Every structure is written in structure tokens, then in C-alpha cells.
């Protein structure tokens, strides 16, 4: 039981586990599919989980991107390549590629939140992660071309460094020629030590590509390998099925969605970013995105991430329990009435916290939880934790303002805000719920392109374990990006599992339809 608990804690502190096996199928309709499947937990996973548990205190990583892994188990000489996976989490999805001639096999996350391809290098000598993953050896490839320039990528849960190289890359039945990628010679993060995947295949825009390298997806298009400049994801959220999902290059598989896609234009190239409307909790506005928010569709993030104030409201509504923020309760008890009075006097909400002396900036500082959610900005800047009292004040302003619009009494407003303080996510981002209450939990909806996309409890709650030991985790985690870039929402696998997602590069848009 102790080992099981340690594994669960490790899962919370790092990222969520993937459940795939890869099947390459020949494309007879001009579409190229990579199927993702599952296998039960094996001894390698148990060892990896124990390593993660021991590393918990030193890693302190938030739940954000990617998964775990022990070692890969690949079957050579077959159309079906098997990766040993933990099979009780629908939290991450990855498939297989080949690099070089003949192809050297690697499992990668197809990540729309980054733009570089990297795999471990045989030249990686001093990172333990490299010893438990497949490694690229250039001397075995007849199509390898030396580059040698240094490279480094920072993700939300770790960093890799190495050197650029060039070779052929096989994805399904497609062979991309002369692709520049990174041979990782250092993988110091525990995330990559226990990650089930070998590397990352970025499907974002060149604007966020490290070294301004042309992404693999761009080369698929320029080399005429796909019928249309479109790729799409289907993530299977049925844990009883062997098949885990698929990514289709060149179009979309009609077998895996219902009705028509709702498309929204890309508003900022880099990530697949678009404008999103109001977030609804049980059909009622949360208030934070009524004037629109930026959002990105990110296949490399397990959960749905959003502003702490709204995540706390959602967790309150679904009964999720996080760590109590004493700063939040202190602000409410000492300044709650003042904030309420200032809002009633029609003061500018964004300036209230600076006016009462809790924030250093006058209306330009956002609530900040400080993560590098995808990759570090090109200028090296990163979002960081701000003063906790300022953060608590700004959240209280949002909550009180929302309650005032509902004509609540002062007593009820302050009581409600105190309850929200109790629902703030823990520093590691996780919030637990009572598994027996799923049927009574409200829907959580996102307005995209004028259409409401709703998630039911069974879609936004992740179950960990089996039988009496099952634990249920909220699929919502906090991410605060200050203006002008934020507030920002990341619609990860929890959302993309419910809604088939099309990334239309030719028309610069993203589309969503009910998954089938």
C-alpha cells in the first residue's frame, strides 16, 4: 500500500502517465495515421514510480506537461510497435517515429505546445535519463548530416540540452528528408528520467522553434508529403479499449468525430492560440473570460490550466480540496469589506489592490502562479510567483465582483470568498474529489467560436488506481499569466479527449467537434 501511495504522490508532483502502443497503417485515402494503444503496468513502471517517489522532495515540479517512463519495449520487424504503459491514466498520448536510415525507433509526444524535435543521443553520458531510453547513434545512419550547433530547450517540467543534427525522419508511412533535430546530451530533470517517452516532436509554429529550426510539420508540407496542410488528434478516453487514439497527418478521420467542427482563427502564431469566450460553471458565467481570453490547444499538457481565481471557483463547485491559503483568508478578513466598498463605488477593479497597498503595480500586474507552461519565451523571460498577498487580493477582487453581479449580500459574498480560499489548488497543482459524487458534479463549459463546449464530470475527472483504492483528481489546474499575454487558458488532453481537434495550418485555424 505504501508503494502505491508513493506512486500516486509521484504522479501528482510530475505529470500524468500515457497509455499507448503504436500501429502504423498504410494510407489508402491520403491520410497518414499514427494509432496509440495501451498495455498494462509492468515492472519497469513500478521501478520508475519508486525512483520518482524518492525524488519528490528535490523535484517539486508542477503538474503540467508530458508523462513518465521506465524503459521502452519495442517489437522489431512488425507493423505494430508496443510501448509498455501504465494503463489506468488517460493523461498523455505519444507514438513512434524513426530517425535515420535505417530508421532508429523512438517514442515521442506529438506536442502542439512546442516546435522542436529532440531525442536522446548516444553521446549523452552523464544523465541517468539517457540510460533508460532509446538513443540516437548517428554513425548507424547513412543519411545523417552533421550540424553541431549547441541547443537547449526549457519546458515547464524540465530542460534538455545538446546539439543540432540532420537526418531523415519516418512518421507513419511518411519520410521527411533532411530534418534538423536535437540530439539531447543532457536530460537532468527527473521528469525525463521517469518519462514513458523518449523525446518530443513539436507541432507548434516556427516562431517558438529553438534555433529557428524549420519544424517537422513544415517540412511535411514543403516536401509534398501530405494531401492537405492539416493534422488532427483523436484521444480515446475509454480505459477499457486497447487503442489509445491517433494523430492523422493530412486531414481528419471522420470515424472519430460527430457533426461539424467549429473553427476559430489563430490569433498569435507560436502556440496554436485563439480567442475563447466565457467559462461557465453549471451554466453560469465565472466572469473572468466574458470579455474573451487567450487559449491554446496543447496536446502536450495533461489537464486544463487556467487562472487561479477561476480554477478555485471550479474546484469549489465540484468539491475539490486543495491546500488552504492563509494569505487568501487574511486578505478577505482584513480587506474584504474595503474591496467590496470600492467595487460598489465603481472604482477600477484592476487598480483596487494597488490602492489598498497590497500590489506594487497600478493595474498592470496579473495574478501570478509562475510556471513556464510550454517553453521559455525567446527573450529568456519567465513568469514567476509574485507577492502572495497581492495575488490573493487580485483573486478576491474577481470573486467579489462576480458575486456583486449576482446581487448577493455582503455577508454572503465574504462567506463565499472564504470558501473559495479553502478551494485554492495546492502548490503542486493537484486537487482531489470524492469519487462517489461524480454524478452530482456540475458541468464546466468553454465558449469557443460562439459555441458552448461542455465537459461532464466523467470527462474532467481523472481516476487513479482500481477498486477501493481509486482516487479521483480534478482535471483543472492553476496557471496565471499576467497581461498582456494573459489571462491564458491551456486546453490539454482533458479537453481534447472530449473534442476531436483539427489543426488547420493552411487556413490558420483550430477546429473542435465532439469526439466519437
Strand, coil or helix: what is 309? helix
- State how far the Cα of 514 lies from the Cα of 516, in Å rounded to an integer: 7
The residues, any chain, with a CB within 8 Å of residue 18's CB and separated by 6 or more, are 36, 67, 85, 86, 89, 91, 92, 93, 94, 109, 196, 197, 244
Q: Which of 245, 193, 242, 244 is nearest to 44 (CA)?
A: 193
Which DSSP symbol is given to 476?
Answer: E
Closest CA to 393 of 344, 347, 483, 332: 332
Q: Please write down the HEC assignment for all residues of 94-109.
A: EEEEEECCCCEEEEEE
Cβ-contact 472, 434 below 8 angstroms? yes
Q: Please report where in the chains the cell 476531436 appears, as a residue.
A: 500
DSSP annotation of 425 reads P
CA 385 vs. chain centroid, Å, equals 20
Q: Which 3-state string (H, E, C) describes 329-397?
A: HHHHHHHHHHHHHHHHCCCCHHHHHHHCCCCCCCCCCCCCCCCCCCECCCCCCCCCCCCHHHHHHHHHH
Catalytic residue among 81, 90, 111, 198: 111
Q: Is 111 among the catalytic positions?
A: yes
Task: Sort strands 117-120 and 174-186 into parallel, antiparallel or unpaired.
Answer: parallel
Catalytic, out of 198, 278, 298, 480? 298
Give the whole-angstrom CA distance, residue 68 versus residue 497: 19
**Grid cell listed for 466:** 482500481
Catalytic residues: 111, 298
Amino acid at each position: 500500500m505504501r508503494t502505491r501511495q508513493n506512486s500516486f504522490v509521484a504522479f501528482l508532483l510530475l505529470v500524468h502517465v500515457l497509455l499507448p502502443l503504436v500501429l502504423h497503417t498504410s494510407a489508402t485515402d491520403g491520410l497518414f495515421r499514427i494509432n496509440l494503444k495501451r498495455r498494462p503496468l509492468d515492472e519497469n513502471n513500478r521501478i520508475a514510480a519508486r525512483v520518482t517517489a524518492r525524488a519528490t522532495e528535490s523535484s517539486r515540479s508542477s503538474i503540467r506537461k508530458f508523462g513518465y517512463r521506465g524503459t521502452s519495449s519495442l517489437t522489431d520487424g512488425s507493423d505494430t510497435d508496443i510501448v509498455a504503459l501504465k494503463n489506468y491514466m488517460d493523461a498523455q498520448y505519444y507514438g513512434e517515429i524513426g530517425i535515420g536510415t535505417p530508421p532508429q525507433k523512438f517514442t515521442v509526444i506529438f506536442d502542439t505546445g512546442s516546435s522542436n524535435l529532440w531525442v536522446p543521443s548516444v553521446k549523452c553520458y552523464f544523465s541517468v535519463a539517457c540510460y533508460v531510453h532509446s538513443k540516437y547513434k548517428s554513425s548507424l545512419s547513412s543519411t545523417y548530416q552533421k550540424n553541431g550547433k549547441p541547443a537547449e530547450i526549457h519546458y515547464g517540467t524540465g530542460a534538455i540540452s545538446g546539439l543540432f543534427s540532420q537526418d531523415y525522419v519516418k512518421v507513419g508511412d511518411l519520410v521527411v528528408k533532411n530534418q534538423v533535430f536535437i540530439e539531447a546530451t543532457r536530460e537532468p530533470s527527473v521528469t525525463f528520467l521517469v518519462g514513458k517517452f523518449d523525446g518530443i516532436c513539436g507541432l507548434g509554429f516556427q516562431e517558438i522553434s529553438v534555433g529557428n529550426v524549420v519544424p517537422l510539420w513544415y517540412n511535411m508540407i514543403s516536401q509534398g508529403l501530405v494531401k492537405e496542410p492539416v493534422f488532427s488528434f483523436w484521444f480515446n478516453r475509454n480505459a477499457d479499449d486497447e487503442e489509445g487514439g491517433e494523430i492523422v497527418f493530412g486531414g481528419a478521420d471522420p470515424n472519430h468525430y460527430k457533426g461539424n467542427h467549429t473553427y476559430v482563427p489563430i490569433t498569435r502564431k507560436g502556440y496554436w492560440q485563439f480567442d475563447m469566450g466565457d467559462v461557465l460553471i453549471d451554466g453560469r458565467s465565472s466572469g473572468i473570460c466574458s470579455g474573451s481570453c487567450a487559449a491554446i490547444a496543447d496536446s502536450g499538457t495533461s489537464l486544463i490550466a487556467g487562472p487561479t481565481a477561476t480554477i478555485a471557483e471550479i474546484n469549489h463547485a465540484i468539491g475539490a480540496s486543495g491546500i488552504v491559503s492563509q494569505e487568501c483568508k487574511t486578505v478577505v478578513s482584513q480587506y474584504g469589506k474595503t474591496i467590496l466598498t470600492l467595487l460598489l463605488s465603481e472604482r477600477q477593479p484592476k487598480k483596487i489592490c494597488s490602492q489598498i497597498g497590497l500590489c506594487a503595480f497600478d493595474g498592470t500586474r496579473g495574478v501570478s502562479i509562475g510556471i513556464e507552461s510550454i517553453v521559455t519565451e525567446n527573450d529568456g523571460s519567465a513568469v514567476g510567483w509574485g507577492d502572495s498577498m497581492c495575488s490573493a487580493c487580485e483573486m478576491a477582487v474577481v470573486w467579489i465582483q462576480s458575486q456583486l453581479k449576482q446581487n448577493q449580500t455582503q455577508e454572503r459574498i465574504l462567506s463565499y470568498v472564504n470558501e473559495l480560499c479553502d478551494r485554492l489548488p495546492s502548490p503542486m497543482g493537484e486537487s482531489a474529489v470524492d469519487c462517489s459524487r461524480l454524478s452530482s458534479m456540475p458541468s464546466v463549459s468553454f465558449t469557443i467560436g460562439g459555441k458552448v463546449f461542455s465537459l461532464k464530470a466523467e470527462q474532467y475527472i481523472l481516476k487513479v488506481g482500481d477498486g477501493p483504492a481509486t482516487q479521483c483528481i480534478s482535471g483543472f489546474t492553476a496557471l496565471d499569466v499576467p497581461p498582456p499575454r494573459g489571462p491564458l487558458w491551456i486546453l490539454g488532453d482533458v479537453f481534447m479527449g472530449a473534442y476531436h481537434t483539427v489543426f488547420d495550418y493552411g487556413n490558420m485555424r483550430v477546429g473542435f467537434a465532439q469526439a466519437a
